[in-house]
Amino acid sequence: MNYQYLIIEKKEDIACITINREEVLNALTGEVILELDYVFHELHHDEDVRCIILTGKGRAFVAGADISLLNTFRGQEGRKLARLGQAMMNYIEGMDKPVIAAINGFAIGGGCELAMCCDIRIASEKAKLGQPEVNLGITPGYGGSQRMTRLVGKGMAKYLCLTGEQISAQEAKEIGLVEKVVSPEELMDEAFRVAKKIASKAPIAAGLVKLAINMSEDVPLAAGIAYEAEIYNTAFKTEDRSEGLSAFLEKRNPIFSNK
């Protein structure tokens, strides 16, 4: 597929998706959401890709939704766009391949929500994050109220969503909204370094771990531990398990086959 709003690059077993609407700070529209949905489905089923990086072109990761578009909406149109964005972000969160958000600049509103559905967030020192929808008389629509609460806690989620404040990358790290903060010049190198480290691990095991951690938010501890026993058993049935244990005993680096 030829993408109008995305740049797709592959380096060995890592794919990098760059949102390319620099002139409007990579604002999300229905068309951009559909392209993101399509490419993540495509990369999910690409056996050569083991980790995905998502970033933005220019000064923004994603500076929210297209406000001029939202201003034309009435009633049901808002729900339709919210459901579209939620479905795309739910897919990113639920797919078994790890996704890293390389937050190069503004991650505001829908951009913050997009970053939060990724597995790991690495931010430039120049990045700004926030859920400022209340300033516009609307609410987060792509899962912001829910993922923000899970990442930073109820009190801080209320603070950010009710004040509409934008916070720095360092503040975001301090509250657990991002995992790492680096200089702008180091951002993509660091994202690829982490992606390569993840891609070097057993893909089936990595995918199972991601799913188990996601599940832990929604089930009682006993149910989560029971599920962990099942995925532990699943991992033991793979060729990668034999390779990983043998490599450890033989004091060599494993070569995982995704089988």
Q: Mind telling me the catalytic residues?
A: 113, 133
DSSP string of 119-153, one letter each residue: SEEEEETT-EEE--GGGGT----SSHHHHHHHHH-
Q: SS3 for 171?
A: helix
| CA 14 from centroid of its chain's CA atoms | 15
Give the integer Cα–Cα distance in Å for 200 and 97. 13
Please enumerate in sequence order all residues whose Cβ is within 8 A of that of 165, keeping only pairs 6 or more positions apart, or say none: 130, 132, 159
Q: How far apart are the first and last CA of the chain?
A: 28
Query: Alpha-carbon distance 226 to 47, whole Å?
Result: 29
Question: Residues, the chain, total?
Answer: 259
**How would you classify residue 206: left for phi > 0, otherwise alpha for psi between -120 and 50, otherwise beta?**
alpha
In this structure, what token pair is assigned to residue 125?
A: 């020192």
Q: How far is CA 15 from each of CA 118, 140, 212, 230, rounded to the nearest angstrom?
A: 14, 29, 23, 30
Q: What is d(CA 198, CA 206) in angstroms, rounded to the nearest whole number?
A: 8
Q: What pairs with residue 63 in β-bridges?
A: 108
Q: Cα 175 to chain center, whole Å?
A: 17
